Structure 1
Amino acid sequence: MLSACAHRPAPGVEQLLGRLVPTPLLLLGEQHDAPEHQALQRDVVLALASRAQLGALVMEMAEQGRSTQGLPQDADEARVRSALHWTDETGWPWPVYGPVVMAAVRSGVPVLGGNLPRAQMRGAMGNAALDNLVADDVLQRQRTGIQEGHCDLLPPSQIAPMTRIQLARDQALAQTAIRALIPGKTVVLVAGNGHVRSDLGVPLYLPVSVPYRVVMAQAGPAKDSALPADAVWNTPALPPRDHCADLRQQMKR
């Protein structure tokens, strides 16, 4: 049983929010394998809810179109997971993200899936029009990021299609957040750091009329000046891990 709402926000969260809110949209980035980052998300949700300032929670970890809208505050986790279509096969462990989700549900705030639906990914890969959504230099940086993020293991023919999925995901997250905006409230969007950064991610798909603030959570030594964000939340370094070796094994399978 998750007990998100029995938790007291960590020291520093109120100070962080004091620098960033009020804002219609707060983008929270994370490293997916850093539990302190999901703890930050839960604490931000709880702190904003306690002020009656939380409008909605949008999550990369659920598909666009999925929502807890209409569920009662006391809905159990099974109903919440069903509403979000959150299964063990999604790649997002419920024990990791459940406390964030349930903190919003218990506060009476809807949780919205924001990610590009899996059924639309193949179409996005072949949609060259997506390349025109961003400037040429942004597109090239995204392609380089896809190549490096896959440890140079992808064949060249796959770089452009995989980049289009990244662009389509950013666009879907932005669309979901825009639709969730409520005057006088803050919508919190949770996604990987690559999706929230102001120079490459979701902010590029927001209308100029929508103000936003970006927090990027970083595990390891502070590098605030190097990150395109309004604030950086630093957490302890993670144990060394060879992600490229893991990816090679996955690709072999």
Structure 2
Amino acid sequence: MTLPLPLSRRPPGVLAGAGLALALAACTPVRHTADVTFVGEVHDNAAHHRMQAGFAAAIDPKAIVFEMIPRDAEEELRTLREEGATREEIAGALHWDTSGWPDFAYYAPILEAAPQARIYGAEVSRETLRAILANPGSEGLALGPGAQGYDLDSPLDPEEEEAREAELQQAHCNALPPEALSGMVKAQRLRDAAIAAATERALDEAGTPVLVIAGNGHVRNDTGAPAFLHARRPWLTMETIGQSEREGVPDGVDSTESLSEDTPFSRLFVSRAVARPDPCAAFRDE
């Protein structure tokens, strides 16, 4: 399925808030409502965020978990939304301008598409990440009570560790020092676990369905947050939706039927590639 081209060509904010969400909900392909729906993204692709807003409107979740929002901002965010705060006020409360994430205009329509949903944060700050990596067993700083249940202290199978390190090396233009890779794998696992932990809180406090918004790597059903969640709550029904890019395609093309058995998503949507600088240029310039 392809989303309507006139909508996909408009930048964020042209059709804002509920108007955009309702328009996309009508053409967002939701087969059923799972207990938890993970929808990935390439962070700076606006079409991916429009698709996420469409899923939020179509699913009408009880809760939305965001990789990009810190847990300690949840209560203030909840109050602001109840008071009808503007996008600018919400972005200011979240210190979005200094967060490192793309423009808040990408994410605001997701919030606005499900105004009654409770919002949960899963962001692990760099400071917290460094503290945890320096002090094994301190995962509770990011995961809260029950952190030991995620078994992050147990090493991965050597073959899986090697595969993950190779994937990270390739994603960083084969420019990383080999000794850095093990720590990066641990950091990725911690972030995945934090998203799963936030999702568990959302399930316990708000109920189903829950929508999870995160980068594609975190919504993989083999190594990402869904794997942690399945290990702890195998009875849940989950859908993992990846979003990729390809030159010369319309936004929102459903490529699910072309997935191979080893694709780490249950569904895949493709949108046109975003023009961006060569990510490897910075490594070559060093």
What TM-score range do you get, normalising by the shorter chain? Answer: 0.7 to 0.9
Q: Which amino acid aligns with 1:80?
A: I
Residue number in structure 2 paired with 1:58: 65
CA distance 1:137–1:55, shift in 2 (3 Å) = farther
CA distance 1:47–1:86, shift in 2 (3 Å) = farther
Q: Shift of residue 199 of structure 1?
A: 1.1
Q: Shift of residue 183 of structure 1?
A: 7.3
Does the 8 A contact of 1:218 with 1:233 survive in 2? Answer: yes
TM-score normalised by length of structure 2: 0.74
What's the secondary structure of 1:243's corresponding residue?
coil
Q: Shift of residue 168 of structure 1?
A: 0.5
Residue number in structure 2 paired with 1:143: 165
Q: Shift of residue 203 of structure 1?
A: 1.5
What's the secondary structure of 1:65's corresponding residue?
helix
Residue number in structure 1 paired with 2:30: 17
2:213 aligned residue (177, 190, 206) = 190
- Structure 2: where are the runs of 5+ without partners? 1-11, 138-151, 250-254
TM-score normalised by length of structure 1: 0.83
Residue number in structure 2 paired with 1:164: 186
Does the 8 A contact of 1:23 with 1:186 survive in 2? Answer: yes
What's the secondary structure of 1:132's corresponding residue?
coil
Q: Distance in 1 between matches of 2:265 and 2:206?
A: 23
What's the secondary structure of 1:31's corresponding residue?
coil
Q: Distance in 2 between matches of 1:151 and 1:119?
A: 25
Does the 8 A contact of 2:64 with 2:117 survive in 1? Answer: yes
Q: Shift of residue 11 of structure 1?
A: 5.8
What's the secondary structure of 2:269's corresponding residue?
strand
Does the 8 A contact of 2:57 with 2:113 survive in 1? Answer: yes
CA distance 1:10–1:247, shift in 2 (3 Å) = farther
Residue number in structure 1 paired with 2:241: 215
Q: Distance in 2 between matches of 1:234 and 1:87?
A: 27
What's the secondary structure of 1:30's corresponding residue?
coil
Q: Distance in 1 between matches of 2:157 and 2:225?
A: 14
Q: Does 1:126 align with 2:134?
A: yes
1:90 aligned residue (56, 78, 99) = 99
Q: Shift of residue 192 of structure 1?
A: 1.0
Does the 8 A contact of 1:124 with 1:164 survive in 2? Answer: no
Q: Shift of residue 138 of structure 1?
A: 3.3
Q: Which amino acid aligns with 1:160?
A: S
CA distance 1:159–1:131, shift in 2 (3 Å) = farther
Residue number in structure 2 paired with 1:242: 278
Identity of aligned residues (%): 26
Structure 1 runs (4+) greater than 6 angstroms displaced: none
Does the 8 A contact of 2:91 with 2:97 survive in 1? Answer: no
Residue number in structure 1 paired with 2:202: 180
Does the 8 A contact of 2:56 with 2:113 survive in 1? Answer: yes
1:228 aligned residue (253, 259, 264) = 264
Q: Shift of residue 131 of structure 1?
A: 5.5
Q: What is the number of residues matched between the two proteins?
A: 239
Q: Distance in 2 between matches of 1:111 and 1:246?
A: 36
Does the 8 A contact of 1:77 with 1:102 survive in 2? Answer: no
Q: Which moved more, 1:172-181 or 1:64-73?
A: 64-73
Q: Distance in 1 between matches of 2:170 and 2:193?
A: 22
Q: Distance in 2 between matches of 1:169 and 1:82?
A: 24
Q: Shift of residue 10 of structure 1?
A: 6.0
Q: Distance in 2 between matches of 1:58 and 1:245?
A: 33
What's the secondary structure of 1:59's corresponding residue?
strand
Q: Distance in 2 between matches of 1:5 and 1:243?
A: 34
- TM-align CA RMSD: 2.6
Q: Distance in 1 between matches of 2:26 and 2:179?
A: 47
Q: Which amino acid aligns with 1:232?
A: L
